[in-house]
A and B are shown apart, each in its own frame.
Chain A
């Protein structure tokens, strides 16, 4: 536990808004293949996808998101029932077990960016901070792909 506590303190002492993909405290958390779709204007919500891997020995809990791009960034889950009806609902905390990866991908979990502060322009990028209950934060740079993108490689 102790090294983690120290790491957390170090992380909290760091200034916000650093444009690197991972901060000192979050060596155990790796965010890969992050991408978002471009938006039309600001009235529609945006969606962000990524893979979050816990390399550590203890579970981590993703509790929230922050970005200056949107007032209300939240994790949502799309579910499609047997009748083919899709619905979307907010997800509270996400616990990632040691060694596990949680995928935010189309048709499943996604970070929904509500109340956009500016349009999400294709080929630009923005910073998204993931907040964890016990290990501080991880900030990732998310590239914005086209509206018709289907994955990080598009």
Chain B
């Protein structure tokens, strides 16, 4: 049996259990000592020498783990002597100092299983020599059958370990400091190390939170699958992989990363990562830029410093007609018109010095057409800022050039136009002013440019026109005929077109006007239209004026129509005052209330209006007169230029005056004056009528008041009739009766009969008074209509009135009388009167017979009162309902002649009618017709 010693890859000896047929080189063979070591003893000796001389601590243990032999390196390293160690179980060395559980388990395993293990790191704190880190190799050796030994090497790597630690720490520090993320995964894929950058890239504050975690938590499942299926096999094959991936941060966001994975001896991986978000962005923005350049509508060409075309976008192709293939590699000057080549070459120097330059030049298209282009050369720099070429942006300005020429021509046209053409910006500041405008308004361009356009507005005109010309509403081009002020202050009639100036963005930046002097033309051209319009207005006005209105409203309404037509802003309407020789301001417009108060009243002959009123002649005043006549100071003070005052005369009677005035117009034309005169005639008529009407209304009011007063007096009269007039009657009657009662015996002859007559006459008078009072009460009283149960009412009347109750048996009510719309008091009056008459007017000796029934007439109902009385003549059917009218009955029938009049009035007051059917001597049928409720 031979001991075989082999050297490991790390040049440290390895002792392995030799096996039969093992073809590894033996020591002897390896060292060429076959001859020399043929002897067993010698071999042992040699082996001993070798072992003793090995710097590696080596100890041979028996199966009980007792130290059999150890080399010098062992004793030296662990500060032991052979005496202390030999035949002592290793675990009991130094009184148990060597009792290292890990080692013990290791050795037990070795003995029991006959296995070897190597490079097992054991760290132990020795009492004497302190902490040691040992790389332990153990090998079961069977020297003789049944006799097992253990070859144990304990390489003290403490020193080395410390150095390694330091190196590692340094490395780790540098790894920690690295911008790249560096991590170590163990074979299972769990983190055993991660530097700060690594953690931070993944969004973890502390690298230690990653330790022990599996790398797959940092990726989406698809990415993990890609790693497992595609990347891992490559690492298996090549030992490393480098590529890009998308990882997941702690907060769930994703980021692109570049990573390199290297397999390490332990089976784990070294993982180096870098966040490439920025690079990706840059790449994308480059890509976008490239796309923009490619798709730009501007022709963009890049040149190298020799002026040779290197890139050529689509727009360049469109502009020049050449495709990229046709021009790349050719000099730019080959596209340039020959007379521009030299200039272009000069401009090409600028980018070489890092400067940009813009200029206009002319190029030739593929089709031979020459084009004007605006070109910008700019230097191109690489990422380090180094100049590497020139970019050329060209824009076709052929059209623009054409426009400029057209504009110049237009400007010339505008300038030479006969019309005034000028423009303002949005603040009304004049921005252009042509020769025509100078001629028309008398202002030179220098006078107005930069000033507000209001300088050519007549006073007071601006506000009015601004409202009319609201540019932001209505059509963009407006036309109006208006008035402007010249530099010399005179006014000029102009026809004006006004249009908005709109910039290419669609914003209004001002307005332009074309104005033409129409002072002359105006009359000729507009007269007819105006005449027609005025005729129509007059017709309308005439129609309007005849409808009932107040004098003030008449003139106000007509002014609203006249003002725009004639161009007046002021009117003053005076009416002759009650005193007769003064005029008073009735209505006005266009002047302040203060002024109106000052000029409220004028005596005839005072001021223009007073003079007009006195003379009954119109006054027409022009600007010139206003300016030069002292007595027109009132007009002058108000800034009035043109003034027309007409007297208002209707039916030869002076009603007042009506003035129209303008602060703008210089004078009224003959036509205007005619028109205003017509208007004034109309107003005069209408106001006369209105005043009459007002007067009439006033009179009606006064009469009504008087009437009210007399009604009041009538009431007082009624009261006094009741009280005072009846008192003497009562006295007359009563004394007559007393005389009869107390002194009858003393009376002779006809005395008693005369006293009876006095008494009866007084009684009749009393009844008359009562009935008249009832009648007037019925005429005047407020009657409230409401549903009335007629049946109940009639029966109650019969039972209540003594003269009816006496005859109740003679009164028959057929069926039930209906409910009617009426008034209980009125109906009671009617029914009692009708029944009273029926009972009263019977022939002597005849017992009254009365029937009452109702007849349904649809919406109405007729109630009949049929009697067997003396009847009424046909010709009296109407008359008997009149007051103080009586039938043809003789004096034997008492009555005032008011009863039926009361019935008629009472029925009429509740919306009913009354009538009679009768024949003299054959009874009467009175009826009342009433509404149903």
- A associates with B: no
A residues with CB within 8 A of B:
none
